[in-house]
Amino acid sequence: MLPCRLRWKKALPFVVMILLVVLAFSPFATYCNFTSPISEQGVKNYVSTNILENQYISQASKAGYVKYTLVLRNNTLLSGNVNFNISALRNEAIAPTGVSYNPSNAYIYITNSFVGNVSVINSRTNTIVKNITVGPRPHRIAFDPSNSYMYVTNCGSYNVSVINSRTNTIVKNITVGASPIGVGYDPDNTYMYVTNSNPGRVSLIDSATNTIVKNITVGSDPIGLAFDPTNAFMYVTNARSGNVSVIDSATNTIVKNITVGSDPIGVAYDPDNSHMYVTNTGSFNVSVIDGSTNTVVESINVSLQPRGIAYDPSNSYMYVTNSESGNVSVIDSTSNKIVNNITVGSGPICLSYDPVNSYMYVADSISNDISIVWTGSNGVSDLSSLVYFSTIGVLAAVVIVSGVVYIKKEKEVKT
């Protein structure tokens, strides 16, 4: 009879062969890796269906799903997409509208239109850490990296509240035009651009002094803004005019008005293709503007009343809120095709992406909550890693047991 060490040495090639074969044919060798774009829900689907039925994860799982729902009225975090009785919430209306990510403190800032405050959410715990009282009917909010301030448009008081994000306190209220809605930052001149929907103009705030330096007349009912760093132009959506005003930020003059769909509201820039994406609430589509020519090159049909739009840089997807449909359309900007429609809360308006945790935060104005969509863009989450290592552990156990059985049979044969 061979010594134990020699028996294991003789069995080693057999053990290694089993391990290599199993790993080579293991589906997790393909799907569960740290750079995979497959979402956590995709991993769940894989575990529940693919191991048993050998099916593939759908393309839609890459676009994301609602991982949590944050109820604003009581600061409660719930798993998944939670549907509330809307009629029961009428007396508790908060109406979250604007959303902005602050990279300096990893907080999410939410404007609550009906209660006149801004909720500050810790993105690590996804709970509210503070509510900051601002002016009446706050709508949009934007971050200024030059001073770490958050700028909030107060539609009811015709001013902009400036929040120091280090202390989360208001440092100034700046009077602008009537019914301010949108706000956007220009990194070239460090100005904040504010759309005043009633007089149809854009107010420019010098963030170094927090004073108005200029007012630019644009189209009727301006709403959204987005900056294109390749041409240094600011794009302003004019809802009633059905067009987009293009402002040269070097001279702060309008260089062109681009006709788009009906009632344009939201606008976002895609750095991968240098295109601007404009949501048209009235025509239920998204206009794609080529920034090099400032012409519309494509129109993408989405769901009912598209409003907000945000770009996810890690998967090159555009996320569009459809307020009437209660979902988010996901556009692959490489093909300009819809890859998924994600059901969220009721009345989604704006949204903002957090690159640290791969969450897209969606403000649901009617259900008074925040849908936290995990886009799965930065690799597989903790669950998939757990599944992966658990699977490796199981495979290792199988290999060891197989080796022991082999040695035992060899012993029986020799004796």
54-64 pLDDT, tens per residue? 222 344 456 89
pLDDT at 151: 98
The residue among 315 and 383 whose pLDDT is bigger is 315
Let me know: does 343 contact 327? Beta carbons within 8 Å: yes
Task: Give the CATH architecture of domain 60-374.
Answer: 7 Propeller (2.130)
Q: Give this prediction's pTM.
A: 0.78
| Phi, psi for 209 (deg, rounded to 5) | -115, -10
What would the mean pLDDT of 93-99 be, rounded to a whole number? Answer: 95
pLDDT tens-place string over residues 112-143: 999 999 999 999 999 999 999 999 999 999 99
- According to DSSP H, which parts of 104-243 are helical? none
pLDDT tens-place string over residues 304-358: 999 999 999 989 999 999 999 999 999 999 999 999 999 999 999 999 999 999 9
pLDDT at 89: 54
Sorted by where each begins, the domain ranges of the chain are 60-374
Least confident of 23-27, 161-165, 242-246, 283-287: 23-27
pLDDT at 280: 98
Q: What is the mean pLDDT of the chain?
A: 83
Cα(361)–Cα(43) distance, integer angstroms: 22
Percent of the chain with pLDDT over 70: 74
Residue 248 has pLDDT above 70, yes or no: yes
Sign of CA dihedral 378, 384, 386, 390: negative
Collect all residues with Cβ–Cβ distance below 8 Å to 177 and sequence separation of at least 6: 158, 194, 196, 198, 199, 201, 203, 215
